DNA sequence: ATTATCTATAGATCTATAGATAATGC
DNA sequence: ATTATCTATAGATCTATAGATAATGC
């Protein structure tokens, strides 16, 4: 988090985080944020000139959080590539499960005000770029070893995983209401296993 | 669409569709809708008592559109199952590509006001339920024939496809800004091929 | 002196309706 | 007679700031 030179500013940030995540920029109310932070409304504009400024503060925070989560995935590269991916996917899935509203928040805010993508580019472009480059290297080695298929590149794999891991959390409320059957395994747990299967089948060479 | 007993009402619905889809409930303005529909603001409240009422009208419309698209997928069941899925996925992917904002719209509105899920349940629960049942039957046959793997059921496959087809459109603006490389094949076209590969690999028996 | 905090309110929207008038159907 | 339409405005928020007062740091 940002340095909390004092705890009222910090309380506002915390409350804003919650409010914006829950309701989005348009649905969020600065009065509500101030109330939840336990400060008068004027304080909010004292520390953060405008609602937009406050939003930006927490938006870059969320992006940094995601970026950090992504980069932590490719730490040690000793193990075989497939095992690496298995670990990475599992950690990423858990992160999304614990923060199900974060991806929706970012996607929603990007779509509703595309100019915000600039903030995103600046903070992740280099990080993710580097991450993809090193993943591509590892994949090239694994391809030469015959460990994985050669018809897939790092970025494609990256988006495969993102799609499979992110979507179920977005879809969870709909699933629970309209599709869930009694007594079945928890949806997300089931999805985690299925996602792994899909990706491993995709990566592993077949003999036909 | 709903019966347009007169064209002003219809114009309002069209404008509302656009406005809500673009900005979401909280960002949408009834004044803006009226302006774009070319009617005075009072007319909007004459035909649709409240903003919420107007929203519901278009929300169920969108859901019906999605439901219709989904049901049209499993029309003829003569062909082998894998081929059936290939066609279904392809059509579904194209529908999402042409209406990229619809899934985000529905997911966003469900998350921001969960009580709306009731509308969704009523209109899709039976449709999708039937669709899944018949898909499950077809899959059981294909499993017995050895045509597809036996470790996957209809609903899991359904969500696999949904995740892979929906996510890329949500992610498109981010991809274009932060990840796209020059001179590469259009993102969505590439994704469509990759999604098919993933699902076919998942369904097709392997020999290890 | 500067930084933090509060009260009170300006000013801008936004939804919704009241009430008058015009158009339409029978 | 009923339905459609317009003008004008009420009433409720919501963001933002002005201006006074208290707390803090040097």
Pairwise CA distance, residues B175 & B170, whole Å: 10
- pLDDT over 70, % of chain A: 92
What residues 157-196 of chain A have any CB closer than 8 A to a CB of chain B? 159-160, 162-164, 166-168, 170-171, 173-175, 177-179, 190-191, 194
- pLDDT over 90, % of chain B: 74
Q: Backbone phi, then psi, for B62, in 5-degree steps?
A: -60, -40
pLDDT in tens, B135-194: 999 999 999 999 999 999 999 999 999 999 999 999 999 999 887 776 677 999 999 999
Flag if B104 and A111 touch (Cβ within 8 Å).
yes
Two structure tokens written together for B168:
């890329």
Calculate the dihedral angle through the C-alpha atoms of B119, B122, B125, B130, rounding to the nearest 10 degrees. Answer: -140
Q: Is the pLDDT at A12 greater than 50, yes or no?
A: yes
pLDDT in tens, B190-206: 999 999 999 999 999 77
CB–CB contacts below 8 A, A to B: 139
Output the pLDDT for position A116. Answer: 94
- Checking each nucleotide's C1' against the CA of A47, the nearest proves to be C4
Q: Is the pLDDT at A78 greater than 90, yes or no?
A: no
pLDDT in tens, A148-202: 999 999 999 999 999 999 999 999 999 998 877 766 779 999 999 999 999 999 9
Output the pLDDT for position B167. Answer: 98
Pairwise pLDDT comparison (A1 vs A42), residue with the higher score = A42
* Interior angle at CA B149, CA B144 and CA B150, nearest 5: 65
- Checking each nucleotide's C1' against the CA of B38, the nearest proves to be D5
Output the pLDDT for position A79. Answer: 84
Identify how many contiguous H helices and E strands chain A contains and give both numbers. Answer: 9, 0
- Checking each nucleotide's C1' against the CA of B46, the nearest proves to be D4
Flag if B112 and A24 touch (Cβ within 8 Å).
yes
Distance B29 CA to C25 C1' (A): 35
Pairwise CA distance, residues A142 & A167, whole Å: 28
Provide mean pLDDT across the span A79-85: 90
Pairwise CA distance, residues B197 & A157, whole Å: 12
Output the pLDDT for position B23. Answer: 97
Q: Which residue's CA lies closest to nucleotide C8 at its C1' atom?
A: A42
pLDDT in tens, B59-104: 999 999 998 888 776 666 678 899 999 999 999 999 999 999 999 9
Two structure tokens written together for B107:
């997911």
- Chain A residues with beta carbon closer than 8 angstroms to that of B150: none
> Do A70 and A131 meet the contact criterion of CB atoms below 8 Å apart?
yes
Provide mean pLDDT across the span B127-142: 90
Distance B152 CA to D12 C1' (A): 54
Two structure tokens written together for B96:
């999402």
Q: Is the pLDDT at B1 greater than 70, yes or no?
A: no
Nucleotides of strand D under 7 angstroms from a protein beta carbon:
4-9, 13-19
CA distances for B202 relative to B163, B193, B195, angstroms? 14, 14, 11
Q: Is the CB of B50 under 7 A from strand C?
A: yes
Pairwise pLDDT comparison (A96 vs A67), residue with the higher score = A96
Kindly report the pTM of this predicted structure.
0.91
Pairwise CA distance, residues A98 & A113, whole Å: 26
Using alpha carbons, select from B57, B199, B54 the residue that is nearest to residue B139: B199
Mutate to test the interface with A, among B105, B124, B167 (most CBs of A within 10 A): B167
- Chain A residues with beta carbon closer than 8 angstroms to that of B194: 152, 156, 160
pLDDT in tens, A95-117: 999 999 999 999 999 999 999 99
Q: Is the pLDDT at B3 greater than 70, yes or no?
A: no
């Amino acid at each position: 988090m940002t340095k909390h030179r004092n705890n009222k500013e910090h309380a506002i940030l915390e409350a804003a985080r919650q409010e914006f995540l829950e309701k989005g920029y348009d649905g969020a109310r600065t009065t509500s944020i101030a109330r939840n932070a336990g400060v008068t409304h004027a304080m909010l504009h004292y520390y953060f000139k405008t609602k937009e400024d406050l939003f930006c503060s927490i938006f870059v925070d969320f992006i940094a959080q995601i970026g950090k989560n992504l980069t932590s995935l490719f730490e040690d590269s000793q193990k075989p590539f497939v095992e690496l991916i298995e670990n990475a996917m599992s950690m990423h899935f858990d992160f999304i499960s614990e923060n199900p509203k974060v991806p929706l928040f970012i996607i929603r805010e990007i779509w509703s005000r595309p100019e915000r993508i600039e903030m995103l580019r600046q903070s992740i472009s280099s990080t993710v770029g580097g991450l993809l480059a090193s993943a591509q290297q590892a994949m090239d080695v694994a391809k030469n070893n015959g460990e994985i298929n050669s018809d897939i590149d790092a970025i494609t794999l990256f988006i495969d995983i993102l799609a499979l891991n992110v979507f179920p959390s977005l879809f969870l409320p709909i699933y629970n209401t309209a599709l869930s059957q009694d007594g079945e395994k928890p949806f997300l747990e089931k999805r985690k296993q299925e996602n792994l299967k899909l990706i491993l089948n995709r990566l592993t060479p077949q003999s036909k």
